[in-house]
Amino acid sequence: MFLVISYDIPNDKRRLKIARLLLDFGGERVQYSVFECHITERNLARLRERAAKVLNKEEDSLRFYQLCENCQPKVVLMGVAKASAEPGLRII
């Protein structure tokens, strides 16, 4: 599945941990607080479980937007934006 993941985390340490976690799960940073990720349902569950251990539920916001196959081609990119390529084999 293809996800757009965004966060708003005021604490530098937690923000860095979440960013690294997203990168570990194959996320590609497309803006400072926005990642795109091709991920399996199983790995998404693992990602959410690990992220929950880092987040402060009173201060932090982490959002997962799933885009269906029909929606992905409708994404409009402007400026220097580049489409995220679907990855080949990844070992996590």
Q: Examine the pLDDT at 87 and tell me if it is beyond 70.
A: no
| Domain ranges across the chain | 2-70
Q: Examine the pLDDT at 25 and tell me if it is beyond 90.
A: yes
Kindly report the backbone phi and psi dihedral angles of residue 37, in degrees, each rounded to the nearest multiple of 5, phi listed first. -150, 130
What is the pLDDT, as a whole number, of residue 82? 79
How far is it, in rounded angstroms, from Cα 36 to Cα 39?
A: 10
What is the pLDDT, as a whole number, of residue 6? 97
Kindly report the backbone phi and psi dihedral angles of residue 4, in degrees, each rounded to the nearest multiple of 5, phi listed first. -110, 125
Q: Examine the pLDDT at 36 and tell me if it is beyond 90.
A: yes
Q: Which CATH architecture has domain 2-70?
A: 2-Layer Sandwich (3.30)
What is the chain's mean pLDDT, rounded? Answer: 89
